[in-house]
Amino acid sequence: MPFFYGTDIYYWIVLIPAMLLAGIAQIRVSTTFNRWSKVASSRGLTGARAAEAVLRFHGVYDVRIERVSGRLSDHYDPQSNVIRLSDSVYGVNSVAAVGVAAHEAGHAVQYAQGYGPIRVRSAIIPLSNIGSQLSIVFILIGLFLYSQTLFGIGVLLFSVAVVGQLVTLPVEFNASRRAIVTLESGDFLDNQELKGAKKVLSAAAMTYVAALVVSLAQLLRFVLAFSSRRRD
């Protein structure tokens, strides 16, 4: 049976809008970051200094802050307890850099304070990564061998990957909320700059939402294909 069968039109009605949403989200985060990268923070904060200030504000002192190559490759590594900031953030004095760095510091604070959802995410992400890597392999082999069992395993593994994305959402939103509240409470940005930081982090958050929507659309596609195979 062909992979797209029977309800092919329905798949594309769902999948294409989801992919368009993902594309729009990526464009938005890029344009928003670029816009606020041109606006310097009045306090003279660089990304690295902003991350350090957020950590100190919450009484966290054992997290290192390092520079990493790339653009928007910023992340917090809980295993090494290191915040890695990209070239466009680390030493840059801009509202965008401050917002992104504060967000990553927010993740470090989540771990330091034992934020519940971050623990759930840490537990499920390894399984989610395995599901993401192996799901398509099983699905394709299942299709090639016309094996309902292998195809079903692939769908199940893909479902685990989607759950990982779902669990990530509240963690990302909470890190952004912590960042904005801290920047405001600590008077690290003025009101107009704070609005810019919110826009940058909101645009970044939407990329996670869009990625989840695409994955859900693909999961629906696989489930419908699996159901069609069972009826044949």
Residue type, 226: F
Token pair in block for residue 223: 């489930």
Q: CB–CB of 161/128 below 8 Å?
A: yes
CA–CA dist 204, 211 (Å, integer): 11
Residue type, 86: S
What secondary structure does DSSP assign to 161-211, as a single string? Answer: HHHHHHHHHHHHHHHHHHHHHHHHHTT-S-HHHHHHHHHHHHHHHHHHHHH
Helices (H), 4-115: 8-37, 47-57, 95-112
Q: Which has the closest alpha carbon to 169: 131, 208, 200? A: 208
CA–CA dist 121, 134 (Å, integer): 19
CA–CA dist 103, 96 (Å, integer): 11
Place of tokens 């816009």: 35
Q: Which residues are catalytic?
A: 104
